[in-house]
Chain A
Amino acid sequence: MCRLFAMTSETPVSPMIALEAMDVMREGHDGSGVGLFLRDLGGPFEEIKDAPILSGIFSEAGLRRLDTFMMDVGFMTKYKITIKVPKKPPPGVPKRDIYLIRAYEYPEEWDGYTQAALNEKLLEIRLRLRAMGEEKHDMIVFSFWPDVIMLKEIGDPLQVANYLKLDRKELHARVIMAQGRQNTNYAINLYACHPFFIQGYASMTNGECTAFTPIREFLLSRNFPGYSGYQSDSEVFTHILHYTQTRLGLDISAYKHVITPLQDADIANHPNADLLTQLKQSCRRLIIDGPNCVIGCLPDHSLFMVQDRKKLRPGVVGGRPGRYAFSSEICGLDFAVPDRDKSQDFQPMHLDTVIVGPARQEVSICSQTQPLALLH
């Protein structure tokens, strides 16, 4: 099993808090890797919220290829964080040339683009860079999106964090998601590390998706270039989230109706029975079957957590107005937000979706048996 930790805070906080919380839960992961997702950034990125930030790992040669490529497209570097690492990485962490976090200025030709067109272009660039990197094994790209930084590396989370000196002001963020990896079926490949990201939607998962193969086939056949990769079964959760919101125009409260629909008797008693029946039928190939705990982040900076129908994975949400954390274990929560009312901690069960909105003032719980928000 992996361990998950996510936090949303009014004031930007250091990613170390997430990694230390991960360390508290170290019995639940084997230190085979860590993934970090930062959004609603503080520090220098606060001033350049609209500039797309490229996150990835590059070799010297890869960086040169990147520069040529980006210049050809017309991107100008606006700001970058330089991560200088000691000569010798800690045991189990591979030696890399460059951990890149770089904000760009959009090409001038893109000026008139609509938001939708921009989104498509950013995705396209990320996929092209990924393909270039896979060809020569000289670059790994995690995200290319405004106000989002991602970092993934093999090794023990806390050791990696210290090695990369992540406790720096530039990396402070209001939304942090971190995953400590327990390596299972797949060889360690950074593209298999959570969190996963696509066009503003991010998610990370604990557990194994037993329905992975049919879901992957369904997503691959949607004719959307971003639905690709799938080095990990958990990537499908991010893509299903993206699909339900962008393609189906559904609210987050409907996400769970897609991945774990109600059983027929419950649908019959639901105020939106007709819609849910249709949704269950037409999205049947997206039913996840779990066991999974999914923590995700939406473009509006909301954080959410859902469990699969079996509810076999741990997950708890708690905090105080202004700061909430989502954690695999209560000890992680205790570490990150000790000054909370613990009686309000909530462990979502098989029907619940827990959402902490962008205002970070309360935990809202929506059950699948409640009426759906109207389609937007």
Chain B
Amino acid sequence: MQPNATISPSTLSVKDLPWQILWHKDKCTLCGRCTAVCPVNAIELGVFRKRRVEVSLAPQGNSASSFEVYHGIRQKTDPAYACVGCATCSLVCPNDAIFPMRSDEADKLRYHINRGGQPRSRGGRRNTPGGILDQIKFIRISMLTDPALDAGRHEFEMRTLLGRILPPEQNLKFVNENGWIPPVREIYPLIIGGMSFGALSPNMWEGLQMGVAYLNEEMGMPVRMCTGEGGCPPRLLRSPFLKYVILQIASGYFGWDEIIHAIPEMVEDPCAIEIKYGQGAKPGDGGLLMWHKVNRLIAAIRGVPAGVSLPSPPTHQTQYSIEESVAKMIQSMCMAWGFRVPVYPKISATSTAMAVLNNLTRNPYAAGLAIDGEDGGTGAAYNVSMDHMGHPIATNVRDSYLNLVKVGMQNEIPIFAGGGAGKSGNLAANAAALIMLGASGVQTGKYIMQAAAGCLGSETDRCNICNIGRCPRGITSQDPRLYRRLDVEQVAERVVDLFLAFDTELKKIMAPLGRSTALPIGMSDALGISDYHAAQRLDIKYVV
């Protein structure tokens, strides 16, 4: 820019951006890979003019200056093309000549990503690192009075129940009288949370399914995966592997025409049906698949035209009360599969979760409750929803569990917690904490994307472009040029790796607590935290 040029309010310098591209001229080969690969076109070939001052050292010599031109990388400062810090440029650079650096102060870009009155929307997660789950310690270590167990060699019962469990008296009565006993699935306590076919690329989805199938068939771990709201590929609906799948229905009902029509041809029942009423990343907001990602395949599976954005309504349009939800959705879903499949709602964590739970306790068809905390991830949402809306998962799960304890139904309605488990990489510790606070199991999505497919997203606003289908890893893209970067079998392998590692870590937590015969659900006496008020609130020990 010339010094005397006009500047608009949104004229930014590189310094004003959250990420600055550092480029080494002497290392750069000008191969152009970085500019080709950048998902947001933040860099381009730059032609730089440089003045060269030539000072003569001879007494009568004339000093002169000359101008020369060199080529290199220029970072765009237009807010629409701001670098997202994904560092795919570094990944492809043969000479390590380029990488993004985070700005040393808060960026000015944030004030300008609302062109045309459109507030920022993005994918990813809440931009707040850390959280209470990482602060919880496991303090009840078995010492002498009850020996700690050998995590490597002891037998551990790593199963949880998904489904409505009757109180023991009623259960035995129904066993004797051949009464209807609600379906219950014995599953692994870590569930791959709902990420839709559409939000995820075909390769990512297939890799996850393959990994899940391998864990079940070869490793004997009953891991389940939720489809998210986007339907389910027709072949999977008709395959025996459907039993490892939790089908999700949400307010857009995408893909459900296909699913309902496939019911007569299903050779196995699905593991469960999850009715999504809300998600933690954007509570009170419907799902959103932006037009970039709605190609012909996605459109066919979802039963919609291609190339249009697919915003789901914030609520199920036919239901305006919990009674209606229970009567219309839960019971009719139960009926669709002959009362053989557990059906449960998933809600955003909220201060009103107790009201939902109390209503569910009164309906024998409700198979559980999944609660998704504010730290949940999403493929697309408004930035404000992601960063500021929602309720933390820890207190919501704890309150719900203690509420069930009060009415004596803690074993009858399992609570599944999501949103924030593994946020800082401590998946097993976070999951164990949630289980001991009262969750029967844990749902996780972001950690799976990071560990199984190398997602670059972070809680400090790196990448986060899942919404526009330009995922540099090919995880959340529908563009074959991008998703072919992801090898299906390698994703499957990583899924298996991460579940086996999780299993070992969970045992390493359970064994010193002396627990092996049952999952330590609600074992709050094992938990401690050095934050006094958090300890009081969660009803766990305050330790310093």
Q: Return chain B residues, CB-CB under 8 Å to A264.
A: 159, 186
Interface residues of A in 198-249 (CB under 8 A from B): 207-208, 210-214, 217-218, 221-223, 243, 247-249
Interface status of B330 (Cβ within 8 A of chain A): no
- Give CA–CA (A291, B511) in the complex, Å: 12
- Give CA–CA (A260, B515) in the complex, Å: 12
Contact with A along B168-184 (1 / 0, CB 8 A): 11011001100001001
**Measured between C-beta atoms, what is the minimum distance from B164 to chain A in Å?**
10
* Given A217-B405, A217-B410: A281 and B161 interface contact (C-beta under 8 Å): yes
Interface pair B181/A211, CB less than 8 Å apart = no
Interface pair B167/A282, CB less than 8 Å apart = yes
Interface status of A193 (Cβ within 8 A of chain B): no
Interface pair A375/B172, CB less than 8 Å apart = yes
- Give CA–CA (A184, B166) in the complex, Å: 36
Q: Return chain A residues, CB-CB under 8 Å to B514.
A: 208, 210, 289-291
Interface residues of A in 73-126 (CB under 8 A from B): none
Interface status of A71 (Cβ within 8 A of chain B): no
Interface pair B410/A289, CB less than 8 Å apart = no
With both beta carbons as reference points, the residue of chain B lying nearest to A272 in the complex is identified as B175
With both beta carbons as reference points, the residue of chain A lying nearest to B401 in the complex is identified as A217
Interface status of A49 (Cβ within 8 A of chain B): no
B141-149, B208-216, B470-478, B491-499 - interface stretch: B141-149
Interface status of B522 (Cβ within 8 A of chain A): yes
Interface status of B157 (Cβ within 8 A of chain A): yes
* Given A217-B522, A264-B159: A207 and B146 interface contact (C-beta under 8 Å): yes
Among candidates B146, B155, B522, residue contacting A213 with C-beta atoms closer than 8 Å: B522
**Measured between C-beta atoms, what is the minimum distance from A339 to chain B in Å?**
35
Interface status of A278 (Cβ within 8 A of chain B): yes
Among candidates A214, A263, A282, A291, residue contacting B171 with C-beta atoms closer than 8 Å: A282
Interface residues of B in 505-540 (CB under 8 A from A): 513-518, 520-525
Q: Return chain B residues, CB-CB under 8 Å to A263.
A: 155, 157
Contact with A along B286-306 (1 / 0, CB 8 A): 000000000000000000000
With both beta carbons as reference points, the residue of chain A lying nearest to B440 in the complex is identified as A284
Interface residues of A in 263-294 (CB under 8 A from B): 263-264, 274-275, 278-279, 281-285, 287-291
Interface pair A210/B515, CB less than 8 Å apart = yes
**Measured between C-beta atoms, what is the minimum distance from B243 to chain A in Å?**
16
* Given A282-B171, A283-B168, A284-B161: A218 and B517 interface contact (C-beta under 8 Å): no
Q: Return chain A residues, CB-CB under 8 Å to B406.
A: 221
Contact with B along A291-321 (1 / 0, CB 8 A): 1000000000000000011101000000000
Q: Return chain B residues, CB-CB under 8 Å to A287.
A: 517-518
Interface status of B408 (Cβ within 8 A of chain A): yes
**Measured between C-beta atoms, what is the minimum distance from A80 to chain B in Å?**
39
Interface pair A248/B169, CB less than 8 Å apart = yes
Q: Return chain B residues, CB-CB under 8 Å to A188.
A: none
Q: Return chain B residues, CB-CB under 8 Å to A218.
A: 405, 408, 410-411
Interface pair B145/A1, CB less than 8 Å apart = yes
Q: Return chain A residues, CB-CB under 8 Å to B157.
A: 263
Q: Return chain B residues, CB-CB under 8 Å to A250.
A: 172
- Give CA–CA (A287, B406) in the complex, Å: 20
With both beta carbons as reference points, the residue of chain B lying nearest to A254 in the complex is identified as B172
- Give CA–CA (A250, B169) in the complex, Å: 10
Interface status of B165 (Cβ within 8 A of chain A): yes
Q: Return chain B residues, CB-CB under 8 Å to A279.
A: 168, 171-172
**Measured between C-beta atoms, what is the minimum distance from A342 to chain B in Å?**
28
Interface pair A310/B411, CB less than 8 Å apart = no
**Measured between C-beta atoms, what is the minimum distance from A79 to chain B in Å?**
39
Interface size class of A (residues with CB under 8 A): 35 or more
- Give CA–CA (A232, B243) in the complex, Å: 44
Interface status of B407 (Cβ within 8 A of chain A): yes
Interface pair B142/A223, CB less than 8 Å apart = no
Q: Return chain B residues, CB-CB under 8 Å to A282.
A: 165-168, 171-172, 411
With both beta carbons as reference points, the residue of chain B lying nearest to A263 in the complex is identified as B157
Contact with B along A357-376 (1 / 0, CB 8 A): 00000000000000000010
Interface status of A185 (Cβ within 8 A of chain B): yes
Q: Return chain B residues, CB-CB under 8 Å to A260.
A: 517
* Given A214-B521, A264-B159, A289-B517: A221 and B407 interface contact (C-beta under 8 Å): yes
With both beta carbons as reference points, the residue of chain B lying nearest to A214 in the complex is identified as B522
Interface pair B172/A278, CB less than 8 Å apart = yes
Interface residues of B in 406-439 (CB under 8 A from A): 406-411
**Measured between C-beta atoms, what is the minimum distance from B357 to chain A in Å?**
15
- Give CA–CA (A291, B514) in the complex, Å: 8
**Measured between C-beta atoms, what is the minimum distance from A177 to chain B in Å?**
22
Q: Return chain B residues, CB-CB under 8 Å to A290.
A: 146, 514, 517
Interface residues of A in 135-154 (CB under 8 A from B): none
**Measured between C-beta atoms, what is the minimum distance from B397 to chain A in Å?**
15
Q: Return chain B residues, CB-CB under 8 Å to A185.
A: 145
Q: Return chain A residues, CB-CB under 8 Å to B520.
A: 211, 214
- Give CA–CA (A217, B406) in the complex, Å: 9
Interface pair B171/A213, CB less than 8 Å apart = no
* Given A281-B161, A282-B171, A308-B517: A211 and B408 interface contact (C-beta under 8 Å): no
Interface pair A291/B146, CB less than 8 Å apart = yes
With both beta carbons as reference points, the residue of chain A lying nearest to B142 in the complex is identified as A210
Q: Return chain A residues, CB-CB under 8 Å to B522.
A: 213-214, 217, 285
**Measured between C-beta atoms, what is the minimum distance from A87 to chain B in Å?**
37
**Measured between C-beta atoms, what is the minimum distance from A127 to chain B in Å?**
19
With both beta carbons as reference points, the residue of chain A lying nearest to B167 in the complex is identified as A282
**Measured between C-beta atoms, what is the minimum distance from A361 to chain B in Å?**
31
Residue from the set A208, A221, A289, A375 with the largest chain B CB neighbour count within 10 Å? A289
**Measured between C-beta atoms, what is the minimum distance from A214 to chain B in Å?**
4
* Given A221-B407, A285-B410: A247 and B146 interface contact (C-beta under 8 Å): no
* Given A221-B405, A284-B518: A213 and B525 interface contact (C-beta under 8 Å): yes
With both beta carbons as reference points, the residue of chain A lying nearest to B168 in the complex is identified as A282
- Give CA–CA (A221, B167) in the complex, Å: 12
Q: Return chain A residues, CB-CB under 8 Å to B523.
A: 210-211, 213-214
- Give CA–CA (A275, B177) in the complex, Å: 12
With both beta carbons as reference points, the residue of chain A lying nearest to B159 in the complex is identified as A264
Interface pair A208/B146, CB less than 8 Å apart = yes
**Measured between C-beta atoms, what is the minimum distance from A83 to chain B in Å?**
33
- Give CA–CA (A213, B422) in the complex, Å: 26
With both beta carbons as reference points, the residue of chain A lying nearest to B147 in the complex is identified as A312
- Give CA–CA (A228, B523) in the complex, Å: 19
- Give CA–CA (A312, B516) in the complex, Å: 13
Among candidates A249, A278, A281, A310, residue contacting B516 with C-beta atoms closer than 8 Å: A310
- Give CA–CA (A285, B168) in the complex, Å: 10
Q: Return chain A residues, CB-CB under 8 Å to B147.
A: 291, 312
- Give CA–CA (A211, B169) in the complex, Å: 22
- Give CA–CA (A281, B517) in the complex, Å: 13
- Give CA–CA (A290, B516) in the complex, Å: 9
- Give CA–CA (A217, B401) in the complex, Å: 11
Interface pair A275/B175, CB less than 8 Å apart = yes
**Measured between C-beta atoms, what is the minimum distance from A245 to chain B in Å?**
12
Interface pair B168/A247, CB less than 8 Å apart = yes
Interface pair B172/A284, CB less than 8 Å apart = no
Interface pair B518/A211, CB less than 8 Å apart = yes
- Give CA–CA (A279, B410) in the complex, Å: 16
Among candidates A184, A247, A284, residue contacting B169 with C-beta atoms closer than 8 Å: A247
Q: Return chain A residues, CB-CB under 8 Å to B516.
A: 289, 309-310
Interface pair A210/B146, CB less than 8 Å apart = yes
Q: Return chain A residues, CB-CB under 8 Å to B408.
A: 218, 221-223
Interface pair B411/A285, CB less than 8 Å apart = yes
- Give CA–CA (A260, B517) in the complex, Å: 7
- Give CA–CA (A278, B513) in the complex, Å: 27
Among candidates A213, A221, A278, A309, residue contacting B517 with C-beta atoms closer than 8 Å: A309
Interface pair A221/B172, CB less than 8 Å apart = no
Can you list 5 contacts pairing A with B, beta carbon distance less than 8 Å? A208-B145, A275-B172, A282-B168, A284-B518, A287-B517
Given contacts A210-B140, A282-B411, A290-B517, 9 further A-B contacts (CB under 8 A): A1-B145, A208-B142, A210-B523, A213-B524, A214-B410, A218-B410, A247-B169, A264-B186, A289-B514
Sort A-B residue pairs by CB-CB distance and give the 5 closest, nearest first: A221-B408, A210-B514, A282-B171, A287-B518, A208-B146
